[in-house]
Chain A
Amino acid sequence: MKGVRHYPGFLPLTILCLVVLYTPLIVVAVYSFNASTSITSWGGFSLRWYGEVFTGREAARFGQAAWNSITIALMAATTATVIATAAALAMVRGGPFRGRQASFALINLPLMVPEIVIAVATLIFFSTIGLRTGYLTILLAHITFCIPFAYLPIAARLEGIEGTYEQAARDLYATRAQAFRLILLPLMMPGVISGWLLAFIISLDDFIITNFVKGAGMETLPTAIFGSVKQGIKPNIMAISTLMLLVSVLFVTAAYLINRKGRQSP
């Protein structure tokens, strides 16, 4: 059989897709180093917009938004990872139980439901129980939608670990708790770490749900950027976007590498 490369039109189509996907990112990254105030014409290389981000007129606003984003992402990712780990243990190691299929669907449902629907539903829920929108509501919403992202790599890792390791530990006089702490947890750690990294990025990155539940005056980086762009795109936005892109790429790469390393030495 011929490889996919030999299908007619494969190469042009591939190039088209790559161009559409990545040209905007490249343009943003390149123009963040533009010396001129224009966002369309090149005025030479400069780091002035990066300086502007940290010292300029909007620095305080973006600083606060970045602080909110990072603290929320840290807490949401950590909480979601703990919940996802417990869920994965129940699903993968819990044996057959009633409602297993349903549990699996419930854990992963947020991946399928349109985000705008979750955003509206979450907002309605918070106002029904009388919770004022703000930092706390953002955090709660982020924990919720981060769970499936943390769950997937953890469950995949756990499925690859044979049950005989825990049995061997129990056979060698370990209690259930010791077998978990000394054997299973270290073996599933690569999955837990990449689950946490993914959850962190997803939280850091979220706009739609955050925008609904944030309340007035509370900003995260994505909502602050959006607010700023509404008054026209300035080059400092490109600098911020490039920084966020860099963080995302670093985290996703780390998640990938940790997962791959874990798979090589199980």
Chain B
Amino acid sequence: MNLEHLRAFFWLRWRLLVNQWQRGGRVNAVLMIVLLVGAIALAVPSFVLSLGLGVFGLDRAEPNHLLYIWDGIVVAFLFFWSLGLLTDLQRAETFALSKFLHLPVPLSGAFLINYLGTLLRISLVIFVPVTLGLALGLSIRHGLWSAVPLVAAFFLMITALTYQLQGWLASLMSNPRRRRAIVVTVTAVFVLIFQLPNLLRFIRPGGLQQRAERSNQMLAEMKALERQFEAKEIDAAEQVRRQNEVIERYQADSAEAKRQSEARWERYAKLVNVVLPVGWLPLGIMTTAQGRIVPPLLALAGMSLIGGGSLWCAYRTTIGIYQGRFTARPASSTTVAVAAADAGTPASSRSARLLEMRLPLVSEPAAAVALAGFRALLRAPESKMMLLTPLVLGVMFGSAVFRSPAEGPLALRALTGIGAIGLGLFGTLQTMANQFGFDRDGFRVYVLSAVPRRSILLGKNLANLPITLGIAVLTLVIVEIARPLRLDHLAAMVPQFVSMFLLFCLLMNLLSIFAPLPIAAGSLKPAQTKLTPALLQFLMFATLFPLTQVFTLLPLGIEALVHWQGIARGVPIYLLLSLVQCAAVLLAYRLAIALEGDWLQAREQKILEVVTSKVP
């Protein structure tokens, strides 16, 4: 490895980055460069600022406070870091070492370059100056000698672990099906981890409830005193004295509870900091501030060992790959053999039976499009990932329904049911808003086919129906268990669903036709973000989507209004009106989809260009 190699590799890395940006269009490239220059320009002042903060700002900070500050920094860093990691994972093509193995470069050098290459991340550019500045400031002013080495060891540990993880995942991903499964799993884990606090707060609002109980108790005692005073059991002076007592007791209780919860939090925080290696940086700084010597040394040694060890393991693996040890996997060849052995059995053609099904009222090509689309949706891991959002929302929604007052107005309950249907629409939002993006090369089949384009749209819409319906029904069942709807309202949910779904489809078809986005295989994310489609999508969701859906609330609103006026009680106005509305929407859908079909045909070559554009 010499300097020339080094320069060549860095140049390559830079070119890859710039080319990737340029494929997103000129505006995108300029934006990214501005961002990068901005980040670098920001690095200097942020270093100076945090240095200043370390020297002058934290005079009265106790060791505990230092722990919290550094915990906050670590959590924020990990968040941005994992976001960047996810992006890289979904792009899949980072800096594959295998592409350089045939070149006359020593392996250790290539390895080092490859590792250094992963450090070019925006999160590092932002966080390294901030943390180093703060650490330096702390050690200058407060004599925290361990701060700077701890920070360095921390970054070594994180980057080395990440590098090892990426290498491991990359070797697993050599099989395309497995690769997509991994991308999905990792994303799902990240989403769940970051949603966890939200979920916990929704499921166990313990602190809030205790506080409510305490203030209820105080109010009750005050009322009791009031009553005693009115019953002339005590005089005014006595009442005031006792009232003050009650208030003091309440304040003391609250303070005690607060102190207890703080102590509990502190214990949790310290425990987490001890257990998780990423917490050793804050822990080391706190213990140094407490004047101890051994714990920071331990933290330093621990993080360095993990970082160095993980780099060493990654290096061994690289050598292993180089010598061809991990490339041939016996497991995969056996699966192929098994697959070949059962081939030709009826089982394989049975899977094609689903695609042979007839659908009532729907033309033959539309049925084929719907069934193939549904089949692909069930198989694709990315669509399983898509279900995560409604799952999280569903848990929140369900807990909100259960905690709502038991005897609200009936119309409100029906509104909850409509909310459940809305959740169903939400569940397929990502595939529906970009129905052709997920077909990629497959979209050519539609362009080449003689099928009337409205049948393609109809089929595409129907492909998403089972999932939407499934989520809506499940959520409705939860609502029905918690707060049962009146029977006619429950019946009205059927026409309500049809109206909402069809209007949703019409809107989503428009988006799919006029703002298609390319999607990388195995991911949900648009491969490149362009301004116009993104803006269009935003406008659509901000204006048209609520407008059309609000229209479906009219029947319920009219019923609530009429009944509130005391007219026509007992007449199921909502059910009747929603049936009428459903018929009208069906008719409108039939007319509009023909029009949308014409638009699809006029734009199909442009859509094809977008959805088949190769992901950088």
A and B, one complex?
Answer: no
